[in-house]
């Protein structure tokens, strides 16, 4: 079946019919090596991506590809465990299916986490970078073609793609949680090879703070849908050439796992603040 806006609308309709009386307040997406939960929340369901999305789902590295649905103060919070990446061969529309589905299901806020490499010696692995902006270097845009014509605006403004209020809140809560917290720009590349040291120098000169292979397609689609966006990069490694050793995916997963408890605490606190009783 061709993946069209109509098909996605019917996926969202099925979810709303399956969980009536549960207004969805927000969605959280976790990246590589990060397994989110909401301790204290009431977990209502866990659905595999294959039952939810109308296209073939490959196994995702480091993830059970599922979403879990939680009730917090009578409202729904959806956690997406793992995302679709362009480098896996998914189209930009498929990569953008997560925020679009979240918005059609009723969410108004989209919190995304990702694993990223640091472009700056001061920003060490284990730090958290609250995203203030991004560079789309992926050569794709999820609004090309019928997905852009689907709804207004055809040319969405990206001046405040990452919500200023949410950024302030996240920065203060991240510090309280014990993260070295920074604010910065996400340089989104295609991957899946890591960058060369020359590319890492270029990304720094272009204004990037961290580099990763996800996020920007989702944020463009999320803004097109009118979602408020918060982006959090967990720094798992120094980008190539900043530290002496070569990079491995294992290192990225391990750093994600180490920071997991702190990240879960931060997300839980953010959700508590954003979902009012
Ligand atoms: N480069 C690109 N993507 C990444 C990195 C990196 O160094 N670390 C985690 N994701």
Nearest C-alpha to atom 9 of ligand 1 is from which residue? Answer: 116
Range 239-265 average pLDDT: 81
Task: Determine if ligand 1 sits within 6 Å of the CB of residue 213.
Answer: yes
Cis peptide before 192 (omega within 30 of 0): yes
> Using one digit for the tens of pLDDT, what is the confidence trace for 42-89?
999 999 999 999 998 877 655 568 999 999 999 999 999 999 999 999
Q: Which ligand 1 atom is the nearest neighbour of the CA of 247?
A: 7
Nearest C-alpha to atom 5 of ligand 1 is from which residue? Answer: 117
What is the DSSP track for 223-245? HHTT-EEEEEEEEEEEPBTTBSS
> Using one digit for the tens of pLDDT, what is the confidence trace for 165-199?
999 999 999 999 988 899 999 999 999 999 999 99
User: Is the pLDDT at 33 greater than 80, yes or no?
Assistant: no
Q: How many CB atoms lie within 10 A of CB 145?
A: 11
pLDDT for position 262: 87
Task: Determine if ligand 1 sits within 6 Å of the CB of residue 239.
Answer: yes
What is the DSSP track for 182-205? EEEEEEE---SSPPPHHHHHHHHH
Lowest mean pLDDT among 94-98, 187-191, 259-263: 259-263
* Ligand 1 pocket mutation pick from 33, 129, 194 by most atoms within 8 angstroms of CB: 194
> Using one digit for the tens of pLDDT, what is the confidence trace for 99-122?
999 999 999 999 999 999 999 999
User: Is the pLDDT at 3 greater than 90, yes or no?
Assistant: yes
* Nearest partner of 233 among 252, 250, 205, 249, judged by Cα: 252
What is the C-alpha to C-alpha distance for residues 34 and 266, in angstroms, rounded to an integer? 13
Task: Determine if ligand 1 sits within 6 Å of the CB of residue 233.
Answer: no
Ligand 1 mean position to 34 CA, how many Å? 14
Ligand 1 mean position to 56 CA, how many Å? 25
pLDDT for position 37: 82
Lowest mean pLDDT among 133-137, 147-151, 186-190: 147-151
Burial of 201 from C-beta contacts in 10 A (0-12 / 13-18 / 19+)? middle
Range 131-136 average pLDDT: 98
Direct distance between the N- and C-terminal alpha carbons of the chain, in angstroms, rounded to an integer: 41
> Using one digit for the tens of pLDDT, what is the confidence trace for 183-240?
999 999 999 999 999 999 999 999 999 999 999 999 999 999 999 999 999 998 999 9
| 114 membership: H or E segment, kind and range | strand 109-118
Task: Determine if ligand 1 sits within 6 Å of the CB of residue 211.
Answer: yes
> Residue 45, CB half-sphere, CA atoms under 13 Å: how many?
14
* Nearest partner of 172 among 160, 183, 161, judged by Cα: 183
Range 85-97 average pLDDT: 96
| 45 membership: H or E segment, kind and range | strand 42-48
Domain architecture of the chain: domains with CATH: 5-275 (3.40.50.1580)
Task: Determine if ligand 1 sits within 6 Å of the CB of residue 210.
Answer: no
Q: Which ligand 1 atom is the nearest neighbour of the CA of 118?
A: 7
- Over its C-alpha atoms, the chain yields an Rg (Å, rounded) of 18
Q: How far is CA 243 from CA 117, 120, 122, in A?
A: 11, 10, 11
> Residue 209, CB half-sphere, CA atoms under 13 Å: how many?
23
pLDDT for position 201: 97
pLDDT for position 259: 82
Task: Determine if ligand 1 sits within 6 Å of the CB of residue 194.
Answer: yes
| 181 membership: H or E segment, kind and range | strand 181-188
User: Is the pLDDT at 274 greater than 60, yes or no?
Assistant: yes
Q: Which ligand 1 atom is the nearest neighbour of the CA of 189?
A: 2
Residue 27 pairs in a beta bridge with 78, 110
Query: pTM of the prediction?
Result: 0.94
pLDDT for position 91: 96
Task: Determine if ligand 1 sits within 6 Å of the CB of residue 113.
Answer: no
What is the C-alpha to C-alpha distance for residues 114 and 103, in angstroms, rounded to an integer? 20
Q: Work out the angle at residue 69's Cα, subtended by the Cα atoms of residues 11 and 105, and round it to the nearest 5 degrees.
A: 35
Question: Percent of the chain, pLDDT > 90?
Answer: 78
């Amino acid at each position: 079946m061709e993946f069209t806006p109509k098909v996605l609308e019917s996926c969202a309709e099925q979810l709303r019919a399956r969980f009536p009386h549960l207004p969805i307040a927000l969605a959280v997406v976790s990246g590589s090596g990060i397994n989110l939960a909401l301790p204290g929340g009431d977990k209502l369901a866990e659905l595999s991506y294959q039952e939810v999305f109308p296209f073939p789902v490959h196994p995702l590295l480091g993830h059970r590809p599922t979403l879990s649905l939680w009730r917090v103060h009578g409202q729904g919070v959806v956690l997406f465990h793992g995302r679709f990446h362009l480098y896996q061969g998914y189209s930009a529309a498929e990569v953008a299916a997560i925020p679009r589905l979240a918005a059609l299901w009723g969410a108004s806020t989209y919190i995304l986490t990702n694993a990223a490499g640091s472009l700056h010696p001061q920003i060490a692995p284990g730090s958290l970078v609250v995203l203030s902006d991004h560079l789309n270097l992926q050569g794709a845009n999820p609004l090309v073609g019928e997905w852009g014509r689907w709804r207004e605006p055809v040319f969405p403004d990206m001046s405040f793609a990452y919500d200023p209020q949410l950024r302030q809140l996240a920065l203060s809560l991240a510090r309280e949680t014990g993260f070295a917290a920074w604010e910065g720009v996400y340089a989104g590349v295609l991957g899946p090879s890591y960058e060369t040291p020359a590319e890492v120098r270029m990304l720094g000169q272009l204004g990037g703070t961290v580099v990763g292979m996800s996020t920007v397609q989702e944020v463009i689609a999320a803004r097109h849908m009118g979602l408020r966006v918060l982006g959090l990069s967990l720094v798992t490694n120094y980008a190539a050439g900043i530290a002496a050793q070569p990079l491995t995916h294992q290192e990225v997963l391990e750093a994600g796992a180490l920071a997991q408890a702190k990240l879960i605490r931060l997300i839980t606190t953010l959700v508590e603040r954003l979902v009012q009783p």
